[in-house]
Structure formats: C-alpha cells, structure tokens
Structure 1
Amino acid sequence: MRNSPGLMRAIAYLLTVTTTLMPLHGVAQESPEVDSQDFLSQLGREGQNLGMELGNEAKNTPAKVQNGQITIPTMDENGNLQYQGGTQFSVQSLYPGSNPSNASVQNEYFSDGVAPDLDQLQGIYDSEEGMGETGSEAKDSLWEDAYSDTPSISGAAYKVLVDSSNQSRPDFSSDPMLGLTNATYENIDVIAEGFGDCSAETTFDEITMSVHNPEYETCDRVTDKSATCEVIHDYEAAVVKHHDGPYNISPCDGAGGGCSDVWIGKVGDNYWSGSCSIYEEFTEIKVVNPAAITQATLIRAKWDDYMQIWIGEPGEEVKVWSGPNNNFPPETAGKCELSTSWDQNPNLDLTSYFRNAPEDSVIRFKIRVSVSGEGEGFGKIRIKYDPSKAIIKDEWSPDSCIESATGVVDGFAEGSLTCVDDPRDAEGCTYTNGIKICEDSLKPSPIPGIPNLCKKVAVDADFDFYKGDMECYTDVDGEKQCPVNEGGNLNTCQQYEENPQCGFISSECVDGAQGNSGVCYVKEKTWDCGSSVDIDTIEKKTEYQCGGAIRCMGDDCLDPTQSTDQTANFAKASALLNAAQFMTQDMSCTGQDDDGNATGEENVTCTAFGGEAGECKIAVGGVSDCCEKPSNVSMADYLMMIRQVPKLDGAVLALEDTNVIKSSYQTLRDPVMNAWTEVSQPFTNYMDNISGAVEEIWSPIEELKNQLIEKLKEQAKGMLQDVMGNLAQDGATEAAATATADRAAEEAMTEMANQAASMLGAAMTVYTVYVVAVAVIQMVYACEQEELEMNTKRATDSCTYVGSYCKEEVLGACIEKRKAYCCFNSPLSRIIQEQVRPQFGQDFGTPKNPSCGGIPFEQIAQINWDEVNLDEWLAILQQNGQFPSGANLSMDALTGSGSVFNVDGDRLPADQRAMDRVDDIDVDAKRREAMDKIEVNPGGPGS
C-alpha cells in the first residue's frame, strides 16, 4: 500500500466523507418526534453500554491456561466468546531460555548475543572491584554490540540512546515558534473557553443549614420500696353461683375434676305438710362463666307427693319436668296421693339454658310440690366444665408491696416474708364455689418461696443495697478518702424532666443492679439537653450548557436538559478538611523512635483518633458525685486552641516523603481537598505542568521549619497562656492559672515541635492539667486526679459514654456506680470515632472493658466519608463563635496575615509567595542547565 499513493489518497477521501456524514446518518435514523441532540446523546450512551458489555464479557471469559497452553477465546457467529476454536500458544514462548527447546532465543536479549555467566556473577557479588570490572566490561561489550553489523536487540536499543545523547542541544529560547507555544500555554485558560460544545457555569449560593449539637445527660432512678405491708392474693374459680341465699354447690362425688353439683329447691325432709297443698320454692343461679360449661344435666329429683320444675322469669316460666308420672293434682283434682316419697334420676339435659346464658346472668328455677301429709321437694343439677377456663380471678396486690417483697427475695432488701393465710388442705388444694383449686390451677406466685394458693403475705422489707461504705481511694491532694453512702437522693432526673429543652432518649439498667427476678433497682436514663443552631454557609452548584449535538467524551455523557447539581457545601467541606488536618496531629504509631523512624524489623502500626478509657464514681442514691464536669471550662477558648494546632499543616507536609506520618496524612487529605477544588483552582491552573526549578520552589520549606520552630513555640505558648488566662474566674484561681499556663505551654510546645503526631494529645493534656489545677480549688467532693482529668475532657465534648456498672461484686449491693467513657483528644476525634465505628461493625466495648483504640490507617482508606455526619462539629463551632464564614475567607486570612505562622507580622498569602518564587525563574534556562550537566559515558574505546 505504501507504493500505491493513489489508493491511499482514495481511502483518505473516503474516510473524510464518511466521518463527516456519520452524525447526519445518526440524525437521519432517529424518530421524527425525538430531538436530534437527545438522540445523539442516546447513541453515545448506547455506545458506552456496548463497551461495558464487551468489557464484562472479556472479564467473564478470560484467557485460560491448561497443560502449558494458553487459550484466548474467540467470538462465534452469534457474538459470544468461546474457548473452542480459540487461539492457542505455549506458555514457554513467553519466557525465552526457560527450557532447552527455546534456549537460543534468550541470547537475543543480551549484548553480543551471549547470556551472562550466572556463576561468575554470584562469585563477585560482594567485591566492589570485581563488580566494577564486570560492569565496565559489560558496557564496552554493549557498545561494540551496538555498532556491529548485526547488533542484538539490546545493542540496537543502546545505540539509539547513545546517538540521542550525542545530538546537539540547540537553544530555542528565542525561537518564534516555541515562543508562540509559551504564549499559548500562558493563556491556556482563556483559549480553552473557546473549545468544546459544552460549558459549565458554577455558582455559589448563600444558604442556611440547621445543625444539632446534642448534650447528653444521664441520671438515676433508684428503687427503694422499704415497707411493712401485706400482699393480698384474691383468687376465685366459678362456673355458677347461687344468686340468693347460701352457697349450695359442691364437687361431684367420684366424678373427677371439671364437675360440680348445684342444688335447687330446699334440701331436707318433710318440711312441708298439708292435704293436697301446693308449695313453691324459687332458686336463682348466676351463670358466671358460661364459656366454661360443657354440659348441664338434672340428675336427681326428690319430692313428696308431686313435683314440677319450671325455668324463667315470672309470667314467662317454662315447665321443663314433672313427676312422678307427668301429672299434678290441680290437673287431676281430688286424686292426691297420700305421703308417697319419690327419689328419681331424670337425666334431663339443661345444657342449652346454661351455655346460651349471657355472662353473669341469672337463671330462675321454680319448684312446685303438692303435699298430702308431710313432704319436700328439691333437685340436683350436675354441671361439667373445662377446668382451664374455670379460674375467674387470680390477682396479687398491691404492686408496691409485691415490689417490696421481690427486693427481699433478690437480696436488695433486708426483711422477712410470711404467708399468714394458707387455705391449703392435706392434698395442697382448696375449694371455692364447688371447684377444686390446686397449685397448678393458678399462675405462679410473684413472690418466690410463697405458695400460689396463699391468700395473704406479711412483708417486712428494708432496702439497704445502696447504703454503706464506698471503696477507699486517694484523692487529688494525696489524702485517703473512704466515703459512706447514706442515700437521700433516689431521683436525679427531676431537673431534666422539668427542663423543656431536654428530650428523653433511653433508659437502661445499670450493670449489676438487676436481681434474679429481672427487676432493675438502679435505672439510668439518658436525656438530650442540646440545641440546634443555624449556620450561614455557601453551596456550590454547577450547571452545564451544551450548544452542539455531540456531548459525549470518553465515558462521560452530559444531558443539557437537566441541571447537574453537584452540591459542594462549604460547611461540610470545611468539616471534612478539619478531619483530614486533625488526623495528622491525632495519631500514634508503634515501632517508631522519637524521630518517627521504624525501630528494629517489627511492623509499624499507626492509628488515628485514638482515645483512652476512663471512669468516675457516683454514690448510688446518695450525694457524693465525682462525675461532675468542672465549671471553669471555656469551650470557645478550648476550640480556639485546638483549631490552631492543625495549622501546623505546612510543617507536616515539609517532612520527608518517606515519613509515615506524611504519607498517611495525604491518603486522607488529598481526596478531601479535591472536594473543594474551587479554592485552589486559580493557582493550580498555572502550576500543574511546570517542570524543573523544583529546588528553587521548595527549598525554603526546610529553612522555614528550622527557622520558625522557635518562633512558633513562642507564638503558641502565648496563645495557650491567653486561653488559660481567660479561664481564671476570680483572684483565687488567677495564681494557679498563671503558673500552670507558663509550665504547660512550654511543655506542650516542646512536645509538639519534637513529635507532630501527638500535637492534639499534647494540647489536650495541657488544657486538662490546667483546668484540674483550677478545679481543685473549686471542687465540692474530694475526687481522684484521673476523674478530674477525664471530666475536663467530658466538658470539652471529647468523650463518648460507654455505660455504667455497679462497682460491688456481690449480688444485691450497688453502693457505688462507675460511669465509663472513651475520651479522645478533641470533639472532632470523638465524633469521627462515633460515626466510623458502625461502618466496620465495631462499638466501644462494655462499661467494664471499654474499647477506645484508634482507627488503623489501613481502615481509613475504606471509610465511606459520605456516610460520616459531622454536623455536630459544625454546631459546636458555630455555638462557640469558631465557625469560619465562607464569605469572609480569603487566601490572606488562611495562609497570610491570619495564619498562626505569621509570627513576624509580614507573612504573605500562599498564592503570592508561590508566584514570587516562580516569577523570577527562567524555567527553560533551568531545564537547559540541567541537560548540560548530564554526561554520558557510552563505553567503547577510551571510555
């Protein structure tokens, strides 16, 4: 084809025409109802999808190796990749010289076409002279190979390098063509605006966002049910009752459970007299539990001389039985039988009268008897029922006395429990309404050890589990303290219950305060007494405007019909940047010396945002409280102090590239910085592609670190003294404030200067020591040093509450409660820990064994920062006047006169300092100078 210019020219014409017409062809194929621009966008997306499908097919059907053969799949007629019929070649062909069959191939890759003698090389590996001679010989051999008539592959490549080094290096600094190129580069931002069919318009809108700063408070409710009282067990079983008169219901003789006999009429003998005299007797039976009745039968009738049984209200009675022969004297006048006594078993089914009766309704029975001489009349109804439904009442009361009794059983109260009304017979059962009740008929007794048939329990309970001697300890003044808990403060939640700003969060039982019965005797309640605050911030929005039809490039397609809202909230971005900055000052590494270098051969393990476990004591139900936060903490001043520490960012970045602190820091810092690119855009556009002159640009960093470290120490020391001085509330604390500030500031800055990784830890330590020194003067209770230090951290919102537990090891005693925390070096460190741990399925351990370790660096890269909510940090800053306003930010405020590094008062902003370093540098001249310094010794004769 190279020898056919006509053919090449024809193909070029053809490609030109078809390429030009391709967009028109796409538009011609579209539906008339579809806009051409949208249609082309759709084509672009379909092309992308096709490419992704092909890529996935290649991933799912990769080349495979079997029996030393590599098979590359090919596409069949249906467009599917398959191995059968694919291209095959031997693995050995990829590794020349790996076996005798291709040993000769390897020589092509060495000078003179001869592979080196490995044994000879192994013999001189520790000889500097031998290695030098061998290297010189190899270089000469390579030169001879390069300039031979048949050079090897290595020789030919080496010749290209040597020939390139021998070429002249003309000076094109005044060349008009390259001068135009430089001018083009200098104005690349302006020129770039004229390219492309799509343009992006970025706007910054002022918005207001509401964030919440929670303030969690815990309080206790202690159960003290000390009392002398009685527990009444009111239970009853019934199916029917006599509505009037004494009960005449008894268990069935020999019929087993679930059977009662109910008598109607007057049971007796010859209590009436007369001659064909008619007597009537009424019996009302209350059907208490009709659902339990399975059968009701009239099993016996005894009378003298004639008898009838009627059911119903007066005027509505229905005769259900008559005897002895279904006759009665009024119906057969003058034929009264004299003094014949009858006792029969009618077995008359009366079930429907009982089953269909409403609950607690009354069935009225009337017995009519004709008597000649002396006589009587009564009957017996046998009622069968379901025993499981027979219990109609089973109640223990009052609850307060039951709780008192339970405390005695659980061992949280001293006292006695005595059943003073036990109706059980020899079988362990009792009877009510003709129903036999045994132990298994009722619910279990709520008082262990008391039988569930007991009718009355005498209770004497004295709750003393929280009263007594607390554990001895040494207080902050070195004095031994052995406090006694005398109680008197059973509810510490009232202040939060009455505060409308506090919202109830949860209630949990203090570990160790739950009895075997399941009753909790010390409940800890959590309230949120925090507040919400509005933040005025800036939000970045980008909209794309596309004028042309083609809007796809690479794997990205734009839809101009929609506004692409890539929100970049300044407040949230600044919070993430704080997180990145704080990490460098809040980290620790194992296996390092004081200079941050690895010691020995052990692995260096680094973590960020690590904390320490701590606890404080409270007298349960008493007044002694070593968990109170100190009142002399100024959150605003503390925030001002710790927010100055990350401004040493420049010093951290000046560390060597191999320093583990810097590399780990940049792992987090770089992505965060990219989220707010508009801040650095004007500077990076000019700096991205400038090469050379590295020494002139960055050499002042080391000088900066070395010259300013002492000034920084003085600056920070003064800042710490100012902050601590603001905390002195009266004359009694002023002396402590001054002395502690001087000593703490000097120690802190020395530690900060020598070990960057512990900057926040040092700041927290200094602040804690200072606050404790002042708090000792003001404290109410004599507490331990560790408690005061931890409570100081709590007052700065730097601690996570893990939980509480009873210090005593004996069940039934909770005189002293311990509240456990994980405390970190800043509020932000604590917030990040709380937000990140759930992503890895981790918590903070248990109150007795808190887990407060830092986040390993290998996990930091796995954090989903989109799921990390730092609104609380923003609220803390805003409420304490430390939130930076986006509208007031400038390069000078951040890096110039407003920087903590402005120790001399004349610090220029970073962009001006950077450009000053570059303005006087002739980049091309520096590049030529560097090239001229390169000397090449290609070997060969005289080398």
Structure 2
Amino acid sequence: MMKQLLAVLTLLTTLHAWAAPDCLLTGTVCTAPKQTRVIDGVPVSRDCWEYQDQYQCRGQNQASDCQPLRERGCAQIGSACVSRDDAGNCMTHEQSYSCPDQPETFTEKTVCDQGTFCQNGGPGCFDTSYSPDQDFGQAAAMMEATREAGVYGIDPDQVEIFKGYLEQCSVKVLGGSTLKSCCQAAGGGAAFTNHAVLGAGLKVAGEAGRESIVLGSRYMYDALYSQLDSAIVDKGLGAMNSWASGLGDGVFNPQFNAYGFSFDFSLANGFEMAGFDPYSFSLSIAVMLIQEWLSCEPAEQVTAMKRGQNLCVHVGTYCSRKVLGVCLEKKQRHCCFNSKLARIINREGRAQLGLPMNSCGGFNQEQLQALDFSRMDLSEFIADISPKEVPASTLGQRVQQTVNERVQGYYEQ
C-alpha cells in the first residue's frame, strides 16, 4: 500500500516539473488545497493535491514594423541580428533603411539677366554670365572646421578633436513589433544653438538693440551637451570673447538666464557661464516635446532633440532585456556631436584612417594632419550655409512690413 502511495506522489511531482522547451514557468496555482483523500482505505491529508502551472510560451509567428518605412519610399540597406536564442537562432533582426528627407522635385527657371554689368554705365564692366563659384561653400566649411578644431580640440596629445559622445535610447518591443520607442527624432533642438541661447538671454537683459553683436555660432549645440561634458559650454563661450574689447565704451554688463544656464558678461572677461540648473534644463526640454515623450528618460529626450538636428549617427543596437530568447527591450547606441560638421568630419575621417566606425572617439593632432579633407563630402553642411531662395510672396510681405514700419516711425517722430 505504501509503495502505491509513493508512486502516486512521484507521478504528481514529475508532472509538476515538466515544461515544454519553448516555454517559461511564470507561476503555480494550487487547484485542490487542504484535502484528505482515502487511498486503499488509508486517509491521507496534504496541503495541496493538484497544481496548475502557468507558462509563457514562445510563438512561431513573425512580426515586423518596417512597412511604414517601405511605404515612404525607403530602401533597405542592411540587416543585423540583435538577439539570439540558446541554440543560436536569430530571434530579432534590425533592418536598416535609407529614407529621402523630402520628395524629389524638379524646378525649371528662365534667366533673362544681361551678360555684363557696368556700374553707373561707366567703365569697370564685368561679365555676369558665368555660373557661381562652387568653391565658396567648400572654403567656408573648411574655415568653420578650422575654427571648431581650434576651439574644442585643446590637448593635441588626446583623442579630442571632432569627438562624439556615446548615447543610448530604448525601444520596447513585443513579438517583433515596437510598442514604445524613445529613439525617434524630435524637434525643438534649434532653440539650443549657441547663438539662440545667448540671443535669448540678451533679449531678456534688454540688449536686443545691439544688432552689430553676433552672439555665438549658429552651428554649435553646446547647451545640449553640458550634462555630458561640463566644460563644453565654456569652450564655446571662449571662442566669442575675442571681440569683447571691440564693443566700445559704455555699460554692458548683463546677467541673464536661458534654459537653465546662467551667464555673466563683462568687457574685461567676455561671456562666462555662472551656473547650470539641470532641473530647469530638463523642464525646458520637456515642454518642447509632445506628450508621449514625457514617458522617456530625460537623457533620451535630449538625444531625440540632437537626432532631430542631424547631430547623431547610429552605431549599433543590442537587446537589453529578453525572455526565452525573445527580445523585450532594445537599446540603440548613437554617436552624437555638438555640430553637424563635426559629425561629418568624424565619420569621414574614421573611414579614411580605418578606425572602428562603432566608436565615437575624435582625433589627436597627428591623426588630424593625416586626413584628406578634399575627399570628404561636406555637401550637407554646405547646404546649411548656402543662401536660400525667398519665395516671391514672402519677399512681398517683407517689403510691405518694412514700408509700414518706416511710415509709422516717420509719424511718431
């Protein structure tokens, strides 16, 4: 009799421990608790006679969230495995696509300008029929590159010049589909150029009328990197202080705040950062983003703004959390730079020198001198500094506004 009882108990234990190879035990519930049963005339009491196991099992259905990219006309350029199961089978793929920024357009123009121009109808005529010099944009880009290298590459022995910062963002996935992504690009980053931050502060200080003062670079985004590199804002300010002595006589010592940054200015020392409030900075970022971004980490929100300004490049993805070999959360790695030009030179330069492309490191002085800048494609930055055509309707509005302001100013005298 006792042997039969042991056999029954052993069978129950074996059934309780069995599980399918693609399933994970998530819980156990007793379905027959605290009972006394008679086995071959012998009453037997147990806390639980029957158990019900609950499992989470891996399905065989595939899911993809790439269709919206295909519908936009994006072309697939690569594929990589993000996570694998214990047998080495790939469970999650990351597909890379190249997407157009805007639809392709064609413009036809008729130019009726005269071939020559003479000032006041006199001597000194010159031919205007030649196409504009295409080297100007390249020369301007190289001047800006030289300036940035001198300002932000201080130590020639360190890998410092045109360096990037490694940043991460998360993507929640389930069954291959994206549930929540904190890696999308977001707007609002244009408000954090050096020019915009200092300009906003001086307007608060009542110095907006000094139109001759050009405040900060329009191409640098030092404010978005202050939490990663505490010295980067001071480097950007130091590049401006050479013209402090040329502001002339008079009182010009403003103190102002912008987006969590506190600044002082004096004719003796130029601009100086007096303090930084990370709470106010994060709040400024949050109010510029749509509601769904508030569920992302503050650092991810800032990264989204950087990506919106094309300051980052994707260098890799890995699975940060998985169950049964199925990835539930992915982390994307991005190299982000404080200017678009720095990003271009870093990527092009690392390719020339054969350096790993999944690293964000910059160049030391010897590596910088080995770069061939004539082989670099700087067209993206050149497009930003090239003059943009003003629509006729907008030009007419500006003319009308100027006339109205002049007439109003005349009668107010």
TM-score range, shorter chain: 0.5 to 0.7
1:625 touches 1:781 (CA, 8 Å); kept in 2? no
Structure 2 counterpart of 1:742, one-letter code: A
**Structure exhibiting the larger radius of gyration computed from Cα positions:** 1
SS of match in other structure, 1:577? helix
1:83-134 Cα distance to aligned partner (Å, 9 max, x none): xxxxxxxxxxxxxxxxxxxxxxxxxxxxxxxxxxxxxxxxxxxxxxxxxxxx
Q: 2:93 matched to 1:523?
A: yes
1:489 touches 1:623 (CA, 8 Å); kept in 2? no
Map 1:412-491 onto structure 2 (within 5 A).
413-414=22-23, 462-463=57-58, 490-491=63-64
Distance 1:625 1:815, change over 3 A: same
- Number of the residue aligned with 2:352: 839
- Number of the residue aligned with 1:579: 145
Question: For 1:858 and 1:792, how far apart are their aligned partners in 2?
Answer: 33
1:616 touches 1:820 (CA, 8 Å); kept in 2? yes
- Number of the residue aligned with 1:801: 314
Deviation at 1:837, TM superposition (A): 0.4
Match of 1:645 among 216, 221, 233: 216
2:293 touches 2:301 (CA, 8 Å); kept in 1? no
2:162 touches 2:343 (CA, 8 Å); kept in 1? yes
- Number of the residue aligned with 1:889: none
Question: For 2:382 and 2:283, how far apart are their aligned partners in 1?
Answer: 26
Structure 2 counterpart of 1:628, one-letter code: Q
Q: 2:380 matched to 1:872?
A: yes
2:188 touches 2:305 (CA, 8 Å); kept in 1? yes
1:414-449 Cα distance to aligned partner (Å, 9 max, x none): 29xxxxxxxxxxxxxxxxxxxxxxxxxxxxxxxxxx
- Number of the residue aligned with 1:633: 188
1:538-594 Cα distance to aligned partner (Å, 9 max, x none): xxxxxxxxxxxxxxxxxxxxxxxxxxxxx86212222222222222343354xxxxx
- Number of the residue aligned with 2:224: none
Q: 2:166 matched to 1:613?
A: yes
Question: For 2:281 and 2:100, how far apart are their aligned partners in 1?
Answer: 23
Map 1:504-519 onto structure 2 (within 5 A).
504-510=76-82, 513-515=83-85, 517-519=87-89
Question: For 1:866 and 1:873, how far apart are their aligned partners in 2?
Answer: 15
SS of match in other structure, 1:607? coil
Question: For 2:376 and 2:281, how far apart are their aligned partners in 1?
Answer: 28
Deviation at 1:706, TM superposition (A): 4.0
Q: TM-score, normalised by structure 2?
A: 0.52
Structure 2 counterpart of 1:795, one-letter code: G
Map 1:343-362 onto structure 2 (within 5 A).
none
Q: 2:313 matched to 1:742?
A: no
Map 1:162-177 onto structure 2 (within 5 A).
none
Question: For 2:90 and 2:287, how far apart are their aligned partners in 1?
Answer: 39
Map 1:677-692 onto structure 2 (within 5 A).
none
Distance 1:610 1:711, change over 3 A: farther
Match of 2:72 among 496, 499, 503: 499
In structure 1, stretches of 5+ residues that fail to align are: 1-407, 416-460, 466-487, 537-566, 590-602, 649-700, 718-740, 756-761, 846-850, 887-943
Structure 2 counterpart of 1:800, one-letter code: V
- Number of the residue aligned with 2:127: none
Distance 1:645 1:608, change over 3 A: farther
Q: 2:366 matched to 1:858?
A: yes
Map 1:767-786 onto structure 2 (within 5 A).
769=282, 772-775=285-288, 778-780=291-293, 782-786=295-299
Question: For 1:778 and 1:767, how far apart are their aligned partners in 2?
Answer: 18
Higher relative contact order (CA 8 A, sep 6+): 2
Match of 1:705 among 225, 241, 244: 244
Deviation at 1:795, TM superposition (A): 1.3
Question: For 1:834 and 1:629, how far apart are their aligned partners in 2?
Answer: 20
Q: TM-score, normalised by structure 1?
A: 0.25
Distance 1:588 1:516, change over 3 A: farther
Match of 1:569 among 120, 131, 135: 135
Deviation at 1:834, TM superposition (A): 0.8
- Percent of paired sites with the same residue: 25
- Number of the residue aligned with 2:303: 790
Question: For 1:767 and 1:639, how far apart are their aligned partners in 2?
Answer: 17
SS of match in other structure, 2:382? helix
Question: For 2:106 and 2:135, how far apart are their aligned partners in 1?
Answer: 14
Deviation at 1:842, TM superposition (A): 0.9
RMSD of equivalent CA atoms:
4.8
1:635 touches 1:796 (CA, 8 Å); kept in 2? yes
Question: For 2:70 and 2:163, how far apart are their aligned partners in 1?
Answer: 35
- Number of the residue aligned with 1:256: none
- Number of the residue aligned with 2:271: 753
Question: For 1:809 and 1:638, how far apart are their aligned partners in 2?
Answer: 39
1:748 touches 1:766 (CA, 8 Å); kept in 2? no
1:581 touches 1:646 (CA, 8 Å); kept in 2? no
Deviation at 1:767, TM superposition (A): 12
Question: For 1:854 and 1:818, how far apart are their aligned partners in 2?
Answer: 23
Question: For 1:807 and 1:703, how far apart are their aligned partners in 2?
Answer: 47
Deviation at 1:743, TM superposition (A): 4.8
Distance 1:767 1:509, change over 3 A: farther
Deviation at 1:821, TM superposition (A): 0.8
In structure 2, stretches of 5+ residues that fail to align are: 1-18, 25-55, 110-132, 198-213, 220-239, 390-413
Deviation at 1:768, TM superposition (A): 7.2
Distance 1:568 1:796, change over 3 A: closer
Deviation at 1:754, TM superposition (A): 4.5
Question: For 1:609 and 1:766, how far apart are their aligned partners in 2?
Answer: 28
1:796 touches 1:826 (CA, 8 Å); kept in 2? no
Deviation at 1:616, TM superposition (A): 1.0
SS of match in other structure, 2:181? coil
Distance 1:748 1:840, change over 3 A: farther
